[in-house]
């Protein structure tokens, strides 16, 4: 999706925050509009199309959680990013369960907010190949890819096309599965391979009519999943380390580490439970 054609709605009751976010995104050529609370945002969304909403949580008249709930009802395909300085475990989990695409803590950098925005928008620019033919009962794909973020979109294209052909709904594929894949591949590159481009990532995808399973294996030394910060501890909620695993747990129905932390297995049920599952080692 071209930034110049992308309209983003910023929702925050603080004028300086609206200006700061707007300036950061306009540098990236996004079209930006702003609203001072959730009710004003809903009015703007009803007037014209937007591609993304970025909202604070604590606002007068209508807060971010209520706005998120209303957006999910009226605009179910709309990605929503939550930005807050007051995040607690309960409010963050509630936002993710209501369908928030991601969350960013204040203060944030230009690179961070633009990276989160690009990641939220990117899956909506990936189209299915529209394959025709014999209905599939099960699809298994095995890939070996380079240790670089550029492999994410081609891998997702494989997942998206085949999952659609087996009856998976489009929205959780573009929203939950794509973002979980981003985090899983990033973990393999940054933590498994320590940024070494000579190493390879093995990706196995298994899709049937009930579930989608993604297994990502790196060539690193592994790690102890039990050593990750406990995301249920409010002191760890906004720490960078463990954030990717925390988000994968929110996006998927199962997240499991195997082989000493070198292999990540994630599952998404066709009808998701919405439950937050633990990270375990098999």
Model pTM?
0.66
Domain boundaries, the chain: 3-124, 130-281
Q: Is the peptide bond before 107 cis (omega within 30 degrees of 0)?
A: yes
Helices then strands, each counted (H, E), the chain: 9, 11
Burial environment of residue 142 by CB neighbours within 10 A (0 to 12, 13 to 18, 19 or more): exposed
pLDDT at position 130, please? 40
Q: Beta strand pairing status for 211-217 and 200-208?
A: antiparallel
Instruction: Name the CA dihedral angle for 144, 147, 149, 155, rounded to a multiple of 10 degrees.
Output: 0
Please tell me the predicted confidence (pLDDT) of residue 234. 60
Q: Which residues pair with 152 in a beta bridge?
A: none
Q: Which tokens belong to 96?
A: 């993710």
Give pLDDT, residue 278. 47
Q: What does the pLDDT read at residue 131? A: 43
The answer to whether 3-124 and 130-281 have equal CATH topology is no
Q: How far apart are CA 142 and CA 124, in angstroms?
A: 24
Pairing relationship of beta strands 254-258 and 211-217 according to DSSP bridges: unpaired
pLDDT in tens, the chain (282 residues): 555 578 999 999 999 999 999 999 988 789 999 999 999 999 999 999 999 999 999 999 999 999 999 999 999 889 999 987 766 667 888 888 888 998 888 888 888 898 899 888 888 765 444 444 445 578 899 999 999 999 999 999 999 988 988 888 888 898 899 999 999 999 999 989 999 999 999 999 999 888 999 999 999 998 877 777 776 666 666 666 677 888 898 899 999 999 999 999 999 998 744 434 444 555
CA–CA separation, 271 vs 121, rounded Å? 23
Residue/partner pairs of 93-97 with CB below 8 Å, 24 or more apart: 93/250, 93/276, 94/65, 95/57, 95/64, 95/65, 95/68, 96/247, 96/250, 96/251, 97/250, 97/274, 97/276
Burial 181-202 (b: 16+ CB within 10 A, else e): bbbbbebbbebbbeeeeebebb
Which residues are CB-neighbours of 273 under 8 A, at least 6 positions away? 253
According to CATH, the topology of domain 130-281 is Heat Shock Protein 90 (3.30.565)
Tokens of 32: 């930006």
Predicted local confidence at residue 145, as pLDDT: 96
3-124 belongs to CATH 3.90.870.10 = no
Integer Cα distance of 79 and 101 in angstroms: 6
Q: Rounded to an integer, what distance in angstroms lies between the CA atom of residue 281 and that of residue 261?
A: 7
């Amino acid at each position: 999706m071209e930034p110049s054609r992308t309209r983003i709605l910023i929702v925050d009751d603080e004028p300086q925050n609206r200006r700061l976010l707007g300036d950061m995104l306009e540098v990236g050529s996004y079209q930006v509009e702003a609203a001072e609370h959730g009710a004003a945002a809903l009015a703007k969304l009803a007037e014209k199309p937007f591609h993304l909403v970025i909202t604070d949580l604590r606002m007068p008249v209508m807060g971010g959680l209520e706005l998120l709930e209303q957006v999910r009802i009226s605009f179910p395909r709309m990605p929503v990013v939550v930005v807050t300085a007051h995040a607690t475990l309960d409010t963050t989990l509630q936002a993710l369960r209501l369908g928030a695409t991601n969350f960013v803590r204040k203060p944030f950098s230009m690179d961070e907010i633009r990276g989160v925005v690009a990641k939220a928008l990117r899956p909506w620019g990936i189209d299915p190949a529209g394959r025709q033919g014999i209905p599939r009962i099960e699809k298994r794909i095995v890939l070996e890819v380079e240790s670089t973020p550029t492999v994410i979109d081609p891998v997702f294209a494989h997942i998206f096309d085949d999952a659609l052909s087996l009856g998976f709904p489009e929205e959780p594929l573009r929203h939950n599965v794509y973002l979980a894949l981003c985090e899983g591949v990033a973990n393999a590159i940054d933590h498994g391979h320590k940024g070494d481009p000579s190493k390879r990532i093995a990706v196995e995808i298994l899709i049937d009519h009930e579930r989608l399973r993604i297994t990502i294996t790196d060539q690193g030394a592994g790690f102890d999943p039990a050593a990750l910060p406990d995301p249920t501890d409010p002191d760890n909620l906004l720490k960078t380390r463990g954030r990717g695993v925390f988000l994968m747990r929110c996006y998927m129905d199962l997240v499991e580490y195997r082989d000493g932390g070198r292999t990540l297995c994630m599952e998404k049920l066709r009808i998701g439970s919405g439950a937050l599952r633990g990270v375990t080692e098999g």
